[in-house]
A and B are shown apart, each in its own frame.
Chain A
Amino acid sequence: MVSKKKKKYSSGEGAQFMTRKAALKKLQLSLKDFRRICILKGIYPREPRNRKRAQKGAGGIKTLYHTKDIKFLLHEPTIWKLRDLKVYQQKIRRARAMREYGQMKKWLRDYPDINIDHIVKERYPTFVDALRDMDDCLTLCFLFSTFPSLQRVPRDQSMMCRRLSVEFMHAVIAAKALRKVFVSVKGYYFQVEFEGQTITWIVPHHFAFQPQSKDEVDFKIMSTFVEFYTMMLGFVNFKLYHSLNLVYPPKLTAGFTSDNDKDLVDEQAYVSERIAAMNLSLARVAGSNEAEELPEIDLFSTEDEDPQKLEEAKLEAEKVKKLKTMFKGLKFFINREVPREPLVFIIRCFGGEVSWDKDHFVGATFDETDESVAYQIVDRPSMDKQYLSRYYVQPQWVFDSVNARTLLPINKYLMGAVLPPHLSPFVDKTKDQVYIPPEERELNDPNFKPLDDDSGTEIEEASDEDAEEAEEPDSDDDETALTKQYQDEIKEDTSDDDGEGDDETDAEKKKLKKEKKKAMAVTTGVTHKEHPYQKEIEDKQAFRLREKLVRKKHRNLYKSMKAGQETRKKEIWLLRKKRRLHEEKIKEDKKVEKKNQKKEAFENATASV
């Protein structure tokens, strides 16, 4: 009896994967609908281990989906909705063709939308799961909230994004959850912390919208993403408000409902509405007390926890607590040239009160003439009328203060001053091979003295130091450098010995001694100097040999890792060099300036005489 021959690709990787075409056939969906359902359900193509086998022997590169994923889609009730929609669209199309415009209008008006609540729950079984995946959601929602109504994007979508993003910001303000901010070339980065999850998102800079061509951005797909993300953000907002004892939905200004006539109002009006909405305080649920503080963190001395780590965590918690009330009781006034949205959000997050020119924008709470204003944020070189009772600072001060977690001294940020660089708070300090600019080092280490603080007299000295620093070898330099250094040291030693003998007072004695020595022909033995870097050199050599024993399996990985290390090292070296050159140039300029000043002064003096 001959057993039946097993068909090829009926098991293993060949059966695990499915091309997109096969998936479409199996699900009986059009590509458009398939894309949509995939985005909603979070299903993505996979990279097989063996492509040839996964494609059932076919050549080329095909989009492959896991068979189990497609089966999972098969049981999705939304698929039936999509099929119904297809029929509905046919009805509309028919009505248009038959010129039954009344009917067509009615159908268009009653266009059914798909309910995807269950998909949100399915993709994020717990609230923390949803929070963990909020980065993209928020970035996209904030981006869409700046869009006008576009072709291929439902009109109320940007309105919805606008509403939800403001609601989310309010939740952040109420929870005091903002931790880090950063102004980048792309936009404003905000990092918040909810339930131990950090969420980072970007708010684009406010520029006029410019339409893009279709091959650059497919807004249809983007809008499908937004469809899901608005749902998700809505539920997250509800949960956040719920946990903060706030009423959801909050009563904000009228600019956030879709049925009003403000659709035609210009963009500026929207923006100021949004900012004004942010300056409101929200209604709390009746019976909840206002000042609700989190309990102190109890520190359990578990065995596996490092006591030092615990201490660090405690310190961190203390700092965060301080940060939360950083601006409490302070009044800020924002000048009209300053972008208000991020500033209002930040100041409100840390308990400050904020207002702006009420003649230009709605929602101002107090006037510029208010004497209790502590800081006025300006972005212009000078102002005609200044109040003595307040500081005039540039907007970067707010961002830098938040990142430093204290109110920074304002002297570097005063009106018209050249600002210090704005540093990213997101640089991972635990990573090795990270370039830390001197400004950051100064922030971390109060004893660190930056070189550009030197006064004019110390210029030469400082530059010497500089050069020395530059010559200082890196932590993992080559043995050649080590040996060179060693040789230099030996040279120095010998020269020192020579130098010591040059004392004038007992030169004669020494001469005598020397003659004596010659006569006696006995020389003091030179102690064998241990090569101080010998050990390191040996270790290095041994390591290089050991490196060759890296398993074949890991050899390529190892090589690429080493190459990466090398490029990073090079980058750091380049940055350091550029910094050094920059500082030298500044010093040179200062010197020249000083010289010129002196010269001028001298000339003036001589002229007057």
Chain B
Amino acid sequence: MSWDADNRTTVSRYQATLKQTKNCFTVSSNSEADEELLHDEYDSGDTSDEEERRNTVGNVPMWWYNEYPHVGYDLDGRRLIKPPQRDQIDEFLKKCEDPDFWRTVRDPSTGQDVILSKQDLELIHRIREGHVPDPEHDEYKPWVEWFTRSVLAAPVRAFPEHKRSFLPSRSEQAQVARIVHALKMGWLKTKKQLAEERRKRKEKQFYNLWGSAAGAEDEAQRGVHRHIPAPRRALPAHAESYNPPPEYLLDSKEPAQPSPGSSHYIHTLRPQMKEWNKQAETPWKRKYTFLPTQHSSLRSLTISADELVPRLPSPRDLQPFPTGEALAFRGHARLVRSADFDPSGQYVVSGSDDCTVKVWETSTGRCLRSIVCAEPVVRVAWIPVAGLSLVAVASGRRLLLLNPGADIGCHRVAARTDQLLEEPPPKHDVQMDERTRTCATWDAVTAEEWARGVRLAITHFKPVTHVCWHARGDYLAVTLSDAASRAVVVHQVSRRRSQLPFSRAKGLVQCALFHPTKPILFVATQRAVRMYDLVKQELVRKLLAGAQWISCMAAHPGGDNLLVGSYDRKCVWFDLELSAKPYQTLRLHGGALRSVAFHRRYPLFASAGDDHNIVVSHGCVYNDLLQNPLLVPLKQLTGPARRDALCVLQLTFHPAQPWLLAAGADGTLRLYS
């Protein structure tokens, strides 16, 4: 049954196809048509009803007739009786016997078996293959044009064209004439002209911009405010050459990536030169640095480094000055704190930490006398007067005035000194108030001390740090440590009397110094130097050294200049005539300054301290008030050996010769000439 239905549908499909293609090819739908194919279809004259059995039921589903013996009606209204049904055995037998069984199909409309002809099979085959059913049909035959834009095989409209259509339009002619006229007159432009004009407009027109000089003055005023032109690119050196001398190439030992900026940098790039395609990089970098890095008003330096060094006269023209070590005075066991020449310059006195005071002969360096004190000697100072033979020795809290002895210097002078100091002045003459008396006491000198050379002795309430004679030789200024307002004590030798010049402390007093000619006392505190008039008892001036901690001080023999040394390596020259500010600050040393000294006759001064050098300088003071002092460092002398970070503790110039004496920390005295 299923086979039947299937068969039926295929056949009906064929029929539908055949109907559609009726006029293209001949159709044969049943076995009878096989014979018909041999003769013309229309030969008999009748075309409509040559089919023997025609079902007239129309397009109804055939299964409606399943239960009936007929399948429909023919043209005359008679039933079309189904042919006898075959069972499976019959089918099988037929299949075995009938050679056309494979092409036998049942017509569903009539129920008859139809044997498909050869043509039908071919048709089915072609349809199955997807070809055009008609084998005669040529898909690729040439196209015949009969109605296109160019070919008009047949007229579109059924009436002929009007005459008007063959003549030009009047209105159009007027329009064109108008356009042509506008083009001629230049009112209208063609697209091409417009494009050309546009191009010309876009093209930069150059002309003689700097042709006329007129208006140049006006233009000059306008511009960037204080314009600084961009610096020019540095021109290339040999190192940048594509083929440089061999010394510019990197050798194997050198690092592969030196810093950019060294000339070798370029040559690390040389191997990659071929791939160096970033040509934009360099100008870009220049632009980039030009843009945001800001122009500062840099002045181009045209000076050389040597021009910054002040021009000073040559040291050779400023001789004499000490140039080298001449003598070393050996004998002290420990560091020598202080040394001084006698007024004639023949002898040297020195005080040391080994509690001795030694007197030496300058010319030979022989120790003439050694005086033992109770405590380490801090300071020795020979009286600056030739008529007396006295040495002030500061040892601990005591200040001793020694007479070095008859064998040293003129024995008459020594004798006279002894004679002068033998008798104390009358008691009523010596009047000291309570404050002073508690500060300093004039001791009676014992016979044993007298024999050692001590002529006078003053005991202070605090240790003595600095001693200074007045130029006349009668007064002594003593500085005590940690004594607050009583740090400076002035002793008068002739009257054996002490004075305390200050009632209030102005700071930590470092040292006090008498003015060489005037009754003025210089007092150095930690930061400043104060000048006091001793007669009027008032402050004259305060000198600010600009140093952190003043260590020492020396007054010029003329009295108008002062040299101040400080622990922060500065040596400050004050011109007292000029101002209270330093005239010049010299930084000649690498360590703290411990001593400065002026020569009494020659325009020389020296400074020394904890570094290994002693610097001798020329310090010329002119009588002409308009001319400022001239300071020239002359010579750097090598000082004594360093001990415990100390080197030179005191410097003294010979009173007459350009000789310099240095008290060294290694227990020697050095004489430079």
Contacts and interface: CB of A to CB of B under 8 A. Distances in A.
Given A44-B290, A222-B287, A547-B309, A122 B223 contact: yes
Interface in B287-318: 287, 290-292, 294-297, 301, 304-305, 308-310, 312, 314-316
Interface string B205-241: 0111110000010011011111101101101111011
Contacts of A513: none
Interface residues of B, number: 81
Nearest to B234: A426
A39 B235 CA distance: 24
B384 to A, nearest CB: 31
Interface stretch (B140-148, B246-254, B551-559): B246-254
Contacts of A125: 216, 219-220
Contact of B209 (A45, A133, A218, A239): A239
Given A125-B216, A216-B284, A419-B243, A542 B236 contact: no
Contacts of A225: 287
Contacts of B295: 44-47
B586 interface: yes
Interface residues of A, number: 108
B130 interface: no
A423 B241 contact: yes
B397 interface: no
A539 B270 CA distance: 46
B209 A117 contact: yes
B64 interface: no
B603 to A, nearest CB: 16
Nearest to A541: B636
Given A47-B295, A69-B224, A204 B237 contact: no
A575 B204 contact: no
A248 interface: yes
A222 B284 contact: yes
Given A45-B292, A127-B210, A557 B308 contact: yes
Contacts of A237: 206
Interface in B602-648: 615, 631-636
Interface string A58-72: 000001101011001
A392 B198 CA distance: 52
Nearest to A544: B636
Contacts of B274: 207
A424 B233 contact: no
Contacts of B240: 184-186, 424
A541 B323 CA distance: 12
B208 A238 contact: yes
Contact of A133 (B202, B223, B229): B229
A135 interface: yes
Interface in A116-165: 117, 120-127, 130, 132-133, 135-136, 139-140, 143, 146, 156, 160
B399 to A, nearest CB: 38
B229 A160 contact: no
A528 to B, nearest CB: 16
A439 B236 CA distance: 17
Nearest to A128: B210
Contacts of A437: 238, 245, 247
A424 B236 contact: yes
Contacts of A440: 238
B310 A143 contact: no
A209 interface: yes
Interface string A193-232: 0000000101011011110100011110110010000110
A72 B222 contact: yes
Nearest to B304: A561
B305 A549 contact: no
A549 B309 contact: yes
B269 interface: yes
A238 B206 contact: yes
B283 A143 contact: yes
Contacts of B220: 125
B232 A135 contact: yes
Interface stretch (A170-178, A290-298, A455-463, A576-584): A576-584
Interface in A271-315: none
B279 interface: yes
Contacts of B286: 136
A409 B647 CA distance: 69
A121 B277 contact: no
A426 B237 contact: yes
A30 to B, nearest CB: 17
Interface string B180-217: 00000000000000000011001010111110000010
A546 B636 contact: no
Contact of B241 (A133, A146, A421): A421
B244 A238 contact: no
Contacts of A438: 245
Nearest to A562: B305
A101 B209 CA distance: 40
B284 to A, nearest CB: 4
Interface in A235-254: 235, 237-239, 242, 248-249
A496 interface: no
B89 interface: no
A64 B236 contact: no
A107 interface: no
Contacts of A509: none
Interface in B252-296: 262-263, 266, 269-270, 273-274, 276-284, 286-287, 290-292, 294-296
B242 interface: yes
A272 B627 CA distance: 77
Contacts of A72: 222-225
Nearest to A426: B235
B445 interface: no
B223 A579 contact: no
Contacts of B238: 421, 423-424, 427, 437, 440
B587 interface: yes
A89 interface: no
Contacts of A124: 210
Nearest to A73: B224
Given A421-B243, A542-B315, A558-B305, A44 B291 contact: yes
A418 B651 CA distance: 71
Nearest to A545: B633
Contacts of A423: 238, 241, 245
Interface-central residue, A125, A156, A422, A551, by most chain B CB under 10 Å: A125
Nearest to A579: B247
Nearest to A555: B308
Nearest to A574: B247
A327 to B, nearest CB: 22
A421 B244 contact: yes
B42 to A, nearest CB: 67
Contacts of B227: 42
A337 interface: no
B588 interface: yes
Contact of A548 (B242, B270, B277, B587): B587
11 contacts: A68-B225, A72-B225, A217-B281, A235-B210, A421-B245, A422-B243, A427-B238, A538-B315, A544-B636, A545-B634, A551-B310
The 6 A-B pairs with the shortest beta carbon distances in the complex, nearest first, are A47-B296, A426-B235, A545-B633, A561-B305, A68-B225, A204-B279
